[in-house]
Amino acid sequence: MTHTADLGSRLQDAHPSLPVVLVGEARLPTTSGTFRALAYRQADGVEYLALVTGDLGDGHDVLVRLHSECLTGDVLGSLRCDCGPQLHAALEAITAEGRGVVLYLRGQEGRGIGLAEKIAAYALQEQGRDTVEANVDLGLPVDARDYTGAVAVLRDLGVRDVELMTHNPVKVRALEAHGVPVLRRRDLPVAQTVDNLRYLRTKRDRMGHELPGVD
């Protein structure tokens, strides 16, 4: 773990061209394992939390999850999505691996449209629209996420190439477009429920997600 004196030096000197700044680092014990928690911030205030386990060494073949913030799923245990189970499965995976990074992406609620807009989209889904149609009806992007800051955090951590835990091919393409090769993609368990089955099918059929086992 980085000591406080070393942290001050990194804040001033490390990677001055990156669009993120390391704000703090601390030990974080959780029910999924104990991690190094590194907090980053962009100039516009968007924050990222990197949960790191083990020694990343030369930065090659690092097990990584880019996890978009989902208050309803991650915190409240919503059954309308599979976000919470994916987050915990990813944390447990890097703990079992003994080496890896789960990068929590703040400001990406509802694929980047925000919490209030996500609830508005839910209301339209209850009237029969799917998750893609609801966003379009509200005049919002289907997916507004940007991964530039996430890549900057990975670079600051010394990550060179990854095994990516995702069902979303867009995340694979985003990393590779920013110069982070994805050596392999690893599936996460799919937490299918009565309430999220249509959502999962829409992600598979309309957004190209790889979702093995979805009925």
Check if the beta carbon of residue 209 is closer than 8 Å to that of residue 173.
no
| Cβ 162 vs Cβ 175: under 8 Å | yes
Pair type for strands 47-53 and 100-105: antiparallel
Asked whether the predicted pLDDT for residue 32 surpasses 50, the reply is yes
**48 domain-assigned:** yes
By three-state DSSP, how is residue 206 classified? Answer: helix
| CA dist 151 → 31, 90, 101, 108 (Å) | 27, 18, 12, 15
What pLDDT is recorded for position 93?
Answer: 97
Alpha carbon distance 94, 33 (integer Å):
9
**Domain of 20?**
4-108+145-202
Does the pLDDT at position 17 exceed 70?
A: no
Please state, in angstroms and rounded to a whole number, the distance separating the CA atoms of residues 182 and 64: 10
Name residue, tokens 């091919």.
169
Active site residue 143: yes
Number of domains in the chain: 1
Q: Let me know if residue 213 belongs to a domain.
A: no
Residue in 36, 129, 145, 155 annotated catalytic: 145
If phi over 0 gives left and psi between -120 and 50 gives alpha, with beta otherwise, what is residue 36? Answer: beta
Report the share of the chain in percent with pLDDT over 90. Answer: 85
Q: Is there a domain that residue 215 lies in?
A: no
With respect to residue 123, please indicate whether it lies within any of the assigned structural domains: no
CATH number of the domain bearing residue 33: 3.40.50.10990
- Tell me the pLDDT tens digit for each residue of 79-125: 999 999 999 999 999 999 999 999 999 989 999 999 999 999 999 99
Of the residues 41, 99, 143, 204, only one is catalytic, namely: 143
195 is catalytic: no
* Residue ranges of the binding site for Zn(2+): 70, 81, 83
- Decide if 62 contacts 159 (C-beta within 8 A): yes
